[in-house]
Amino acid sequence: MDKIRIVGGNTLSGAIPISGAKNAALPLMIAALLTDDTLTLDNVPHLADVEQLIRILGNHGVDYSVNGRRESQGDGYSRTIHFTARNIVNATAPYELVSKMRASFWVIGPLLARIGEARVSLPGGCAIGTRPVDLFIDGLRALGAEIDIDNGYVVARAKNGLAGGRYTFPKVSVGATHVLMMAASLAKGETVIDNAACEPEVADLANCLNAMGARISGAGTATIVIEGVSALSGARHRVIPDRIETGTYAMAVAMTGGDVLLEGARADLLETALDAIARTGAEISTTNEGIRVTRNGAGIASVDISTAPFPGFPTDLQAQFMGLMTRAEGRSRITETIFENRFMHVQELARLGAHISLSGQTAIVEGVAQLNGAPVMATDLRASVSLVIAGLAAQGETTVNRVYHLDRGFERLEEKLSRCGAQIERISS
């Protein structure tokens, strides 16, 4: 099993290309099930989750081809992939595939809308919480689907097709918003989704669906209106830059000091997070090329944050910000409001010398003057990269184990950081 080895203490200087967003690419790939034409996606990142979803879509009969490197970028980041679901050959998404990645459950919406049936395994447990699928099921029932649970599978049917309806989410859910929006695109009549997720990835999916012939308005707001159409066509769409990767590298620079241009990053996708980083003492500026982050070596100021749905502070940046706060001057409070059990990185940061105490869903971080390298264990995707951020500033050597978590969501992380002066390498077992 691969490991990441870091020798801390180096500042970062240079440029880091920001990859396409994993959280946007996955629903866009699933949208290929909605049409028998080819959907072409540009700027798809090289990630384990993307490769897993390609296998899952193949199980349903989706063919794909990869163009490889973009001509204008010779370093191999991102790809153009063509997806064609000419014929759906299998309406079942089996447990052995769905259990490896929760987002694969989302195929239930397009399968139901396109062929009138779907049999999708319940995804099972998750390291950062239960993440129930009741919102997906209730939303699809509002569109006329008949749904039963049978031996661990969600069995959905719409013999005469889905029908437009109105559904109000009792709790904001990005995944369920994706699914209901895709399903409603092929439903008969108008669908209104209230209390919808406002995340940029939702708007990105809507833009792609509209390019395919859907009629969606309001995506990016709490109310989305979809006028169903009889069929969707192929299209070409570029995946938005990854706001979580952007925030992660911005925090790494704030932690170590230095001057880094985050190429292709968009500030409008994570304004709240960038504001929090700026309040720690880093300087952040936008350019035509992306976002520039600098810190001149002055102390890191403590900042309190609370996670919230977009446009609030992203839960997927909470662990990274905690890593930054371990070196801040004074005390900071970090409150997690989205997922339970998302503080598993606390004990691993403590191995590096961090002083963190927990009170319910709030972590109180007492900044320390120095962290010390140690072997640590990644527990989930975002927790693993918080350990990298801490290791970049720790004295001595840090070894991050279980880096397969990192490979799920960060494209060539060690390569991007080493190009900017970090002493970091992957050790293959």
Residues marked as binding for UDP-N-acetyl-alpha-D-glucosamine?
Answer: 102, 131-135, 171-174, 316, 338
Q: Return the closest-CA partner of residue 371 out of 289, 292, 255, 261.
A: 255
126 is catalytic: yes
Q: Which of 6, 111, 112 is nearest to 59 (CA)?
A: 111
Q: Which residues contact 65 (CB under 8 A, 6 or more apart)?
A: 81, 82
Instruction: Look up residue 242 and give its amino acid.
Output: D
Tokens in use for 181? 């929006």
Cα(147)–Cα(155) distance, rounded to whole angstroms?
A: 6
How far, rounded to the nearest angstrom, does the alpha carbon of residue 87 sit from its chain's CA centroid? 29
Amino acid of residue 167: Y
Distance between CA atoms of residues 152 and 316, nearest Å: 28
Contact 322, 356 (CB under 8 A): yes
What is the pairing mode between strands 331-335 and 63-68?
unpaired
What are the structure tokens assigned to 351, written together?
A: 């191995």
Annotation: binding site for phosphoenolpyruvate = 22-23
Query: In this structure, how many other beta carbons lie within 10 angstroms of the beta carbon of residue 351?
Result: 17
DSSP H helices in 87-219: 95-98, 108-115, 134-142, 174-185, 200-211
Q: Are 361 and 333 in contact (CB under 8 A)?
A: no
Enumerate the active-site residues.
Answer: 126
